[in-house]
Amino acid sequence: QSVLTQPPSVSAAPGQMVTISCSGRSSNIENNYVSWYQQFPGTAPKLLIYENNMRPSGIPDRFSGSKSGTSATLTVTGLQTVDEADYYCGTWDSRLSAGVFGGGTRLTVL
């Protein structure tokens, strides 16, 4: 069981918006930065969002992140079929002195 909680799957039609939630506690999400990763089958994860809402160079602005208290959210607008992938949230847990991830969310673009 993952320390951070994500929905197993979300889906939406092309062009629509989808949100993926990530729930934790004060020792992880509330007091540390949250990152989001995108992973296609058979490939390494890719950093999508860092420091809650910042995008690395090359990441489209269709992807955005936010955080409030012990929860974080990844929002994808203008969905495209190429966005079909697994998405993971991650952060550091100060109480555990350990990295933590959510269980992952499979995004399906209908």
Answer yes or no whether residue 102 interacts with another protein by CB under 8 A. yes
Span from 9-17, 31-39, 68-76, 77-85 in contact with another protein (CB under 8 A) = 31-39
Interatomic CA distance for residues 109 and 79, integer angstroms: 7
Choosing from 27, 35, 38, 64, the residue that interacts with another protein (CB under 8 A) is: 35
Instruction: Return the number of the residue (74 or 102) whose C-beta is nearest another protein.
Output: 102
Count of residues near another protein by CB under 8 A? 29
Answer yes or no whether residue 101 interacts with another protein by CB under 8 A. yes
Q: Residue 4 gets which letter from DSSP?
A: B
Answer yes or no whether residue 74 interacts with another protein by CB under 8 A. no
Provide CB contacts within 8 A for 60, sequence distance 6+.
none
Choosing from 20, 100, 107, 109, the residue that interacts with another protein (CB under 8 A) is: 100
Answer yes or no whether residue 27 interacts with another protein by CB under 8 A. no
Edge-first strand order for the sheet with 63-68 is 18-23, 71-76, 63-68
Q: What is the number of residues in the chain?
A: 110
Q: What is the dihedral of CA 6, 9, 15, 21, to 10 degrees?
A: -10
